[in-house]
């Protein structure tokens, strides 16, 4: 029953996150509230890592598969997107690449500098 | 054929999970990753739906919904790598903040460039502003600022898919070798979909990417209204 115990805890956190979302009228998904909530629970020791590790690990591993329906829903907006297709495509390919590289380089510059400071 | 699919409650689930697993089997046979499972499964599903004339709703009602149902708890579980790597992240809080801020600003600048280059109309431009963040925040933000949520959703999905597929190659190209920075770069540019790839790359990448989703989401919520004002 180890897995059921883990599943119930994760379901409870998800439920609590949905309740928080119901009461806070911000454009923030329940998953972000839940992410913060579960982190606080882990950090404070209310929930032990061992209590959610297996089912949590499974959910993490399956995440790309869970995103397939959202990706496929692209089919439903094919008509609306046509007039802005070019900017969307450019931002999708070039923009995403640029943001990823710039973020990585900027963070790396700081991490390296931090590393050097510690040595001296 | 679509009537038959509509009657099969496992149609969408099996199509998505089956094609996803097929990609993994192909990769295992070949010995390296030649087809990204998320991309492969998306293409297979779109292909089958288009070829058989089946509506997306049929796919969604017969299995797609089940998969999406588990997306919220799965995203919540990103706090597990975050918790495990907290000390490392805390030590590099400056790099986390600066990296995410640089990414958000670069993204906004790109949107402004699109606005000027293509003389986009205001709503179209605003729809692009939240495209690097998690779907639920992005959709809400787009609505709030006066964009087209459907376009934002499509741009977000496209971004995530591309980020998840291209992340290792792009990071190698940019010479980003530090696992923490790799994670930040992926989470900032391509939200949860990219993060699903970061988790596969390693625990530190997964943790940093998860944190970047949250930080980037917050920064975008603050910055997007300012940049939305540029749409004349």
Let me know how many helices (H) and strands (E) chain B has, helices first. 14, 0
Give yes or no: residues A108 and A58 share one domain.
no
Contacts of B198 (CB under 8 A, 6+ apart): B167, B182, B183, B186, B187, B205, B206, B208, B209
**Chain A residues within 8 A of B185 when measuring between CB atoms:** 100-101, 103-104, 107
- Decide: A69 and B155 in contact? Cβ < 8 Å: no
- pLDDT of residue B208 exceeding 70: yes
Tally of domains in chain A: 2
DSSP A93: I
Contacts of B55 (CB under 8 A, 6+ apart): B2, B49
pLDDT digits (tens, 9 = 90+) for B58-87: 999 999 999 989 989 998 998 998 899 899
A47, A66, A85 - which closes a domain = A66
Taking the C-alpha atoms of residue A63 and residue B228, their distance in angstroms, rounded to an integer, is 32
Read off the pLDDT of each residue in A62-68 and give the average, rounded to a whole number: 90
pLDDT attached to residue A80 = 77
pTM of this prediction?
0.85
Q: Which two tokens stand for residue A67?
A: 């995103």
Residue A71 in domain: no
Give yes or no: residues A58 and A102 share one domain.
no
A13 contacts B157? CB cut-off 8 A: no
Domain assignment of residue A1, given as a range: 1-66
**Chain A residues within 8 A of B95 when measuring between CB atoms:** 107-108, 110-111, 114
ipTM, two decimals, is 0.88
B186 contacts A72? CB cut-off 8 A: no
pLDDT attached to residue A118 = 46
Give the residue with greater pLDDT, B179 vs B119: B179
* Domain extent listing, chain B: 2-69, 81-228
Residue A47 in domain: yes
B99 touches A at CB < 8 Å: yes
pLDDT digits (tens, 9 = 90+) for A24-47: 987 778 888 999 999 999 999 999
B174 contacts A101? CB cut-off 8 A: yes
Taking the C-alpha atoms of residue A104 and residue A100, their distance in angstroms, rounded to an integer, is 6
- Decide: A54 and A2 in contact? Cβ < 8 Å: yes
Give yes or no: residues A58 and A110 share one domain.
no
- Decide: B194 and B84 in contact? Cβ < 8 Å: no
Read off the pLDDT of each residue in A51-75 and give the average, rounded to a whole number: 91
Give yes or no: residues A58 and A101 share one domain.
no
pLDDT digits (tens, 9 = 90+) for A96-116: 999 999 999 999 998 866 555
B186 contacts A17? CB cut-off 8 A: no
CB atoms within 10 A of CB B219: 21
What is the three-class DSSP state of B10?
coil
Percent of chain B with pLDDT over 70: 99
Read off the pLDDT of each residue in B205-220 and give the average, rounded to a whole number: 92
Closest CB to A27: pick one of B128, B144, B178. B144
Give yes or no: residues A48 and A80 share one domain.
no
Closest CB to B193: pick one of A26, A30, A67. A67
Give the residue with greater pLDDT, B154 vs A23: A23
Give yes or no: residues A38 and A62 share one domain.
yes
Mean pLDDT of chain A: 89
Highest mean pLDDT among A6-20, A69-83, B145-159: A6-20
Give yes or no: residues A50 and A92 share one domain.
no
Residue A56 in domain: yes
């Amino acid at each position: 029953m180890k897995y059921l115990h883990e599943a119930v805890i994760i379901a409870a956190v998800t439920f609590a996150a949905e309740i928080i979302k119901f009461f806070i009228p911000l454009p923030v998904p329940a998953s972000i509230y839940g992410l913060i909530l579960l982190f606080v629970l882990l950090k404070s020791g209310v929930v032990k890592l061992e209590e959610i590790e297996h089912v949590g690990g499974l959910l993490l591993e399956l995440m790309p598969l869970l995103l397939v329906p959202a990706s496929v829903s692209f089919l439903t907006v094919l008509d609306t997107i046509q007039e802005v297709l070019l900017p969307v495509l450019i931002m999708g390919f070039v923009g995403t690449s640029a943001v990823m590289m710039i973020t990585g380089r900027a963070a790396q510059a700081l991490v390296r500098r931090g590393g050097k400071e510690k040595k001296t | 054929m679509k009537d038959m699919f509509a009657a099969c409650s496992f149609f969408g689930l099996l199509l998505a999970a089956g094609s996803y697993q097929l990609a993994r089997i192909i990769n295992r046979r070949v010995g390296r990753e030649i087809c990204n499972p998320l991309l492969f499964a998306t293409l297979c599903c779109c292909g089958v739906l288009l070829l058989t004339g089946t509506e997306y709703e049929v796919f969604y009602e017969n299995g797609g919904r089940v998969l999406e149902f588990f997306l919220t708890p799965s995203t919540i579980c990103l706090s597990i790598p975050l918790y495990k790597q907290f000390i490392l992240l805390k030590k590099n809080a400056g790099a986390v903040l600066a990296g995410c801020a640089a990414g958000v600003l670069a993204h906004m600048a790109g949107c402004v460039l699109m606005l000027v280059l293509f003389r986009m109309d205001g709503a179209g431009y605003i729809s692009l502003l939240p495209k690097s963040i998690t779907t639920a925040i992005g959709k809400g933000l787009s609505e709030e600022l006066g964009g087209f949520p459907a376009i934002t959703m499509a741009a977000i999905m496209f971004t995530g898919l591309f980020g998840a597929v291209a992340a290792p190659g792009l990071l190698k190209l940019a010479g980003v070798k530090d696992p923490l920075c790799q994670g930040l770069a992926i989470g900032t540019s391509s939200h949860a979909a990219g993060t699903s790839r970061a988790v596969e790359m390693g625990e530190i990448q997964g943790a940093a990417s998860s944190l970047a989703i949250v930080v980037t989401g917050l920064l975008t919520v603050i910055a997007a209204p300012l940049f939305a004002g540029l749409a004349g």
